[in-house]
Structure 1
């Protein structure tokens, strides 16, 4: 199985190299790892100890960020290294002020030894998932504590199958698991891993904190005026197609579309679907109130605003549910917005919870979207349920910090 793992890693790398010839994200993946050790040597003193945080992508960064920032606040002299696997995380957070940020070199025995020696970690913290054989093995051999925070496991994963011995051995390198739910804890214990506690999801701490002091966006305020607003976050073409039926039916509402991808062809596609009634954020003018009033739909053609946009909404639509799975519902819920999303949400416990308490609805058609929108448009109770759900779930960060910083670590 180890041989198959190695072949899989090299095959994946080869495919990415081929895709990089015509795919911008794949090109970033490859180019970002060129001369990586030279870049590390320019920024990192290997004689100094570091705390290493690894994130698959931007979502995991935001999930683990409360733990990182709390550690930095408690120990300001500690140096932190952050790595990303995906360009969508690295490119947005590469200038993050609290850490030196790098791409994670591909998981090989040589890279694991060289990278870990280069950053000299006193502990490693991985958020939610990504379990790399050679990196975990090297950390264990060097007796460097390795923690998985906000972990979540499902019975369908290879760790819990009869053929999953190799993958179970990867998990055995982890010092301690901080998991989100009882199912994850029970699954780990079923394979003999008792170094686990249920601490919840650190995303609740992050989104709650964001909702308490969001960045103000005067241009958005100017566009909305006094109109009720639907904020549509991380949308894909399948979402936009169904959403385009709403503006004409609800002329008194404003609509903000923040697509997951902002390349020009996608923005143009959204403009066509929402006709002449749409306006790009890049051409929005605070001084031109007539222009703002004329347009009903605002298209956000930049990255990084979404978490602050929800403060201006009354209802949220979360994209991704017609594809591989919905995006972040908690950012919207933290602001007291009931949420609507597509049918593929089964891997997201918070989505199930929000539906159960009446603060979310899943839809599969235009008719269902309209019904869900109508039910939430004036539903102050749903808004309060969403806000309370997030507030009641926060606290995982403090539990994790307490356990990984005490002298007698688990």
Structure 2
């Protein structure tokens, strides 16, 4: 399939896209808003020029934030336009950069030639930076036509994804050949991009900028103060974060087993997507667990079994409240989420077996003794209980995670050096 056929199929699929937006808007009304932005018909006021950064959703937006701040410091005269595809990503971007007039935001229009052209005619960037693997052939081609260099930042490409791209070589190879820089996390990923058609001299191994996460000491102090306010400084607390459908039942069943061994145990449960907040709260209630919603600001008492993290932008803070962290998206075949956030906070890290989105990071944490994988209710409950009962083991995992973080830092500076060649 070449780009012409891809574009034709994209146009034919627009009714299905509209139906998907309608169905998602029934649970998350924000999907029914700002539709014009998705076709570049009603973009907000945007200052032209500067740098365009695309981060598809929440995780990529958080990962991009240090890079965006560093670019802002290095090139203070340039506006930075940050795009995404989801309402949760949009909310996170606006919260991260509120008050900075030169960091502007809108949705990225769909990958249709005329929509991409309208968007680029408005934004007129000097450089386009795409986070991780959100590659859109028409957007990249329209940049190439205008002489706008396109860089992939923090690029990752699993073997499974590479096989998928490889099935559409007539679409993938020309797209990758039009890119000016592919800054990828590992040599294995670099080789996958080269084999798919990227120009070898444009592919650079810079590492993962997620290792360059820095923790504000004030956040740790706020977490300690809140636990003290809950009278829970010595209470066993664990967090299950970024969970997906199919995982919450496992987690709640594990927590019930933990309550049998540790009657004062507290679970902080954080669903990945806001549209699931209500349904997960109902699951907790049906399980007979006394649950407090974080959004209500109600106090956590000794009778509280679960704190439901139904707010946005607080994940690091919620991790900081816990003693042990399970990273979701891994008990089901979703590929996992960022294991480095709890590691950077000094938490023993647990996950399920499905980590194909973070194979290198998971391998490093596993080999260092900072990550333990569990597959079912019994293993999850057993691992959490063991870490509570054996603080020396928890301390070893904590120190190992921090060592992995420190050993891998520097990717952000290498990425910035690569981007500098395209900027004044």
Match status 1:317 vs 2:323:
no
What root-mean-square deviation, in Å, do the aligned CA atoms of Structure 1 and Structure 2 show?
A: 2.5
Residue number among 229, 235, 250 corresponding to 1:227 in the alignment: 235
Indicate conservation of the 8 Å contact 2:158/2:356, yes or no.
no
Indicate conservation of the 8 Å contact 1:20/1:26, yes or no.
no
SS of the equivalent of 2:22 reads coil
SS of the equivalent of 2:126 reads strand
Residue number among 372, 375, 385 corresponding to 1:364 in the alignment: 375
Per the alignment, residue 107 of structure 1 pairs with 111
Per the alignment, residue 263 of structure 2 pairs with 251
Indicate conservation of the 8 Å contact 1:247/1:255, yes or no.
no
Indicate conservation of the 8 Å contact 1:334/1:391, yes or no.
no
Pairing of 1:390-405 with structure 2 (within 5 A): 390-405=405-420
Query: Structure 2: where are the runs of 5+ without partners?
Result: none
Residue number among 320, 343, 346 corresponding to 2:356 in the alignment: 346
Deviates further, 17-26 or 126-135:
17-26
Match status 1:386 vs 2:401:
yes
Indicate conservation of the 8 Å contact 1:267/1:301, yes or no.
no
SS of the equivalent of 2:382 reads helix
In structure 2, how many angstroms separate the alpha carbons of the residues matched to 1:235 and 1:408? 39
Indicate conservation of the 8 Å contact 2:50/2:78, yes or no.
yes
Per the alignment, residue 292 of structure 2 pairs with 279
Per the alignment, residue 91 of structure 2 pairs with 91
Per the alignment, residue 241 of structure 1 pairs with 249
Per the alignment, residue 329 of structure 1 pairs with 339
- Displacement of 1:20 after TM fit? 3.2
Indicate conservation of the 8 Å contact 2:47/2:79, yes or no.
no
Pairing of 1:15-26 with structure 2 (within 5 A): 15-24=16-25
- Displacement of 1:11 after TM fit? 4.5
Match status 1:6 vs 2:11:
no
- Matched residues, number: 399
Indicate conservation of the 8 Å contact 1:179/1:196, yes or no.
yes
Indicate conservation of the 8 Å contact 2:166/2:172, yes or no.
no
In structure 1, how many angstroms separate the alpha carbons of the residues matched to 2:270 and 2:167? 43
Per the alignment, residue 76 of structure 1 pairs with 76
Pairing of 1:60-209 with structure 2 (within 5 A): 60-94=60-94, 96-97=97-98, 98=100, 99-156=103-160, 157-158=162-163, 161=166, 163-190=168-195, 191=197, 193-194=199-200, 195-205=202-212, 208-209=213-214
Change (3 A) 1:251 1:159: closer
1:244-267 Cα deviation digits (max 9, x unpaired): 232333224322112223432321
TM-score (norm 1): 0.89
Indicate conservation of the 8 Å contact 1:235/1:319, yes or no.
yes
